[in-house]
């Protein structure tokens, strides 16, 4: 099986604008941002999508959300508000089969999305 786009970024085969990196995840600025702040928080270990995560992924899943909150503060959108989104499947807009958390902020976000 070939590597996902995100695995290639993690392995530094493809350049990305990195916002954060630690042992469990990497966060990159989206190349097609949908808001002034649009960062993807990606686990380094491949989990195809959130609905396929298991109990042993709980620590990583929690870490992704905590990292998104930390980045929201660092990127200046925590006070005004931000959205965290996880897409699962084609109809949700999933384009890469590697779990990732979208952090969006820096402008008013409509509801419902999509």
Just list the catalytic residues: 100
User: Angle CA(86)–CA(88)–CA(89) in degrees, nearest 5?
Assistant: 145
Residue ranges of alpha helices (H) inside the chain are 5-10, 58-74
Asked if 19 contacts 39 with a C-beta cutoff of 8 angstroms, the reply is yes
Distance, in Å, from the CA atom of 35 to the CA atom of 82, rounded to the nearest integer, reads 10
Count of beta carbons in the 10 Å neighbourhood of residue 99: 27
Distance, in Å, from the CA atom of 77 to the CA atom of 45, rounded to the nearest integer, reads 28
């Amino acid at each position: 099986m070939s590597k996902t786009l995100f695995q290639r970024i993690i392995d530094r085969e493809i350049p990305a604008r990195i916002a954060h990196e630690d042992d469990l995840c990497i966060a990159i600025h989206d190349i097609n941002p949908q808001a002034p702040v649009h960062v993807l928080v990606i686990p380094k270990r491949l989990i195809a999508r959130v609905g396929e995560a298991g109990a042993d992924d709980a620590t990583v899943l929690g870490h992704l959300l905590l990292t998104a909150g930390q980045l929201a503060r660092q990127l200046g959108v925590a006070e005004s508000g931000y959205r965290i989104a996880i897409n699962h499947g084609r109809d949700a807009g999933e384009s890469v089969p590697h779990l990732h958390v979208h952090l969006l902020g820096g402008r008013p976000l409509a509801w419902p999305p999509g």
